[in-house]
Structure 1
Amino acid sequence: MSWGLISEMGYVGLQTTNLADSVFDATQILGLRETDRDANAVYLSAGEAHHELVYVESDVNGVDGFGLVASDGDALRQIRSRVQDEGFRIVNSKPRLDGIEDGFAFVGPEGFLFEIYIGMQKAGRVERTFGPDRYGHINFHPRDVTGMMKFLHRVLDFRLSDTIGDDYAYFMRCNPDHHGIALIRGEGTLHHHAWQTQSIADLSKLGDRLNAVGRELIWGPVRHGAGHNIAAYFVETTGAVVELYTDLEQIYDDSRSPVVWSEGDNWWNMWSSYRPTEFRKYGITPVVR
């Protein structure tokens, strides 16, 4: 269900200097499955999609791009027209990755690449012992947070769910999920990509898997105020953060006014005022194109 031009979050693409360790994090820690690979990329998914996460072997760690699913062919064409009218540089006029029927990619604000597409092929389901249900959202930290919020609304038709402070943070949605993209003012980095699971018990099992290989959660479980989700976080090989979450707020009234928080409210954790000081220091920048 969607109300705008984008129907759902599609995929996250990351470049990595250690492809084997990145794939280990995705499959053995998070619980995704490998669906395909080529000479320099591995495709992974939580469900039936050909990919929801793509690791590209590289000499740098960085953001390769974000995939967003257009509602239909008309929406795809309308977004392309908006992108051209805004003067953003289109770098691929056809799908840039395997498994996609139609789409295009452009460099948006602050160097982040967006691929808008329709028609991703199915990879089929296999039996799994653990893992998330699906890819859910991203959180990134643009320098011009209000400018990025306006771009997402004006060009990609995202709606505003929550605002925090004055020019500090925005949570935005493209469907009933409280947020598909969260923005917090920062240094121009992707902070984390997030994955939905069934139960808070899955968050504790994530901690167990990390402990078994000598690693740890960097925060959580916590109950966020903005979005209401219960979440836990760890750092993956690229330096980006991975969130596993459950119980995210669903917004079925598209006319709902944004919830307004002050920076001093406990919007980050309803269970405690504690917030680790190093949490926001993690993240990776977009690859220069």
Structure 2
Amino acid sequence: MIPIFRLGYAVFLSKEIEKMVDYYTNVLGCVLVERDVDGTAYLSNGFEHHHIVIRPDQHSYLKGIGWQVNQTMSLQDVQQILKNEGIASSLEHDVQPGISEQLTLKDPDGNSIYLYHHMAFTSPGYSNIGIIPNKLGHIALAVKDVAKNVDFYHRILGFYKTDKAFDLANFLTCNDEHHTLNIIQAEKSFMHHIAFQLRNPAHQYDSSDILARHHIPTIWGPSRHTAGHNIASYHFDPDEHVIELYTDMDKYIPELNIMEPRPWHKDTPQRPKKWTSFEYWETQFSDILPTVENRKEDRPSIRVPL
């Protein structure tokens, strides 16, 4: 089992890179740390060099996800585990700023995965404008083969399984957050949404005001989810990726296979379960959130949040 313990960064390709950089700096509140000669932007949401990478391209979609690995296992040993499972990977050096060594591979649906030990620190990583989330919290992937992907992330990469919703969404975590990854059954592969953690409900209200000042509508929420019990709202970035802003997510205790006690848990103790609804307050998902047109092979965006 590979000791992944943290969601590190997301890499996007973008047709509208300047609009995306403007959104991430002036709306979301990240800091633009560095730009390559080709225009690639590295943005930080904390003390590390980057949490969002945006590269110019003729298409717009999520290219890959960086996951941080505990130093108790070398990347060479990780590579051997992958090789034993028949999974190809390449050990790369100095291929991006801030990371001297990383292991690159693909998940069963072809999403790039970057495993690394260290990322250089930067200052300042926290902005003084925009929403300014606490951190990059989780990513939801729509995939064509849920069983194969859940097995890959659980059995090989070491993620814990927490909740399920219907036969659609599968929640997994690599630490004590209820989920750092959500795997969703779909006919095509794409990023369903990317989520940033806010400080508290007041920060959630403030974020909606900031979005409104930038003429960015909220497409769903705020409301409280069932799986994870987080308060969440959703909007689009300039490339029409779904962005979730959330707070109050459950903490998972893997040793006990329960969530920490919370006032709104109907089940005590709250154990991982299969939910038959997506939200707790009986707010209805809107039917005006259609799937957008495919933009690159099987990598479209979608407008319906989970």
Instruction: Tell me whether 1:261 sits opposite 2:271 in the alignment.
Output: no
Q: Is the 8 A contact 1:64 1:286 kept in 2?
A: no
**1:131 alignment counterpart:** 132
Q: Relative to structure 1, is the Cα distance of residues 103 and 59 closer, same or farther in structure 2, using a 3 angstrom cutoff?
A: same
What is the DSSP-based 3-state SS (H/G/I as helix, E as strand, rest coil) of the residue aligned with 1:27?
Answer: helix
Q: Deviations over 1:2-45 (max 9, x none)?
A: x9600100101100011110011111221111111112310111
Residue 150 of structure 2 corresponds to residue 149 of structure 1: yes
Q: Distance in 2 between matches of 1:180 and 1:286?
A: 26
- Superposed counterparts of 1:1-289, under 5 Å: 5-39=3-37, 40-72=39-71, 74-90=73-89, 93-94=92-93, 96-125=95-124, 128-129=128-129, 130-166=131-167, 168-186=168-186, 187-256=188-257, 259-262=272-275, 265-266=276-277, 268-279=278-289, 281=291
Supply the AA of the counterpart residue of 1:150.
D
Task: Tell me how far apart the structure 1 counterparts of residues 63 and 158 of structure 2 sit (CA, whole Å).
Answer: 22
Measure, in 2, the Cα distance between the counterparts of 1:150 and 1:20.
Answer: 38
Gaps of 5+ in 1: none
Asked if the contact 1:141/1:191 (under 8 Å) is kept, the reply is: yes
1:234-282 deviations in Å (ceiling 9; x for gaps): 11122211111111111134340662224xx22x210124012355736
Match of 2:263 in 1: none
Q: TM-score, normalised by structure 1?
A: 0.89
The 1:133/1:98 distance shift into structure 2, 3 A limit, reads: same
- Call closer, same or farther: CA 1:154–1:284 in 2, change over 3 Å: farther
Contact 2:59 2:295 in 1 (8 A): no
Deviations along 1:183-220, one digit per CA (max 9) or x if unpaired, are 11112110111111102222222222222232201111
Aligned residues: 282
Amino acid at match of 1:22: M
Kindly provide the amino acid, as one letter, of the partner of residue 271 in structure 1.
W
Question: 3-state SS of the aligned residue for 1:111?
Answer: coil
Mark the CA change 1:77 to 1:190 in structure 2 (over 3 Å): closer, same or farther.
same
Q: Per-residue CA shift, 1:149-185, capped at 9, x if unaligned?
A: 100012210000112334x221001000110101111
Q: What stretches of structure 2 of length at least 5 have no aligned partner?
A: 259-270, 300-306
Aligned-partner SS, 1:195: strand
Task: Measure, in 2, the Cα distance between the counterparts of 1:223 and 1:103.
Answer: 37
> Could you list the runs of 4 or more consecutive aligned residues of structure 1 that deviate by over 4 angstroms after TM superposition?
282-288
Deviation (angstroms), 1:286:
8.7
- Same amino acid, percent of matched pairs: 26
Instruction: Tell me the amino acid that sits aligned with residue 17 of structure 1.
Output: K
**AA of the residue aligned to 2:177:** D
CA distance in 2, matches of 1:287, 1:143: 10
Q: Normalising by structure 2, what TM-score?
A: 0.85
| Aligned CA distance change for structure 1 residues 280 and 199 (closer, same or farther; 3 Å) | farther
Say what the alpha-carbon RMSD is for the aligned residues: 2.4
CA displacement, residues 53-111 of structure 1 (integer Å, 9 cap, x when unaligned): 11111111112210000011515333322222333333553353210132111122111
Report the CA distance shift for 1:205/1:242 in structure 2 as closer, same or farther (over 3 A). Answer: same
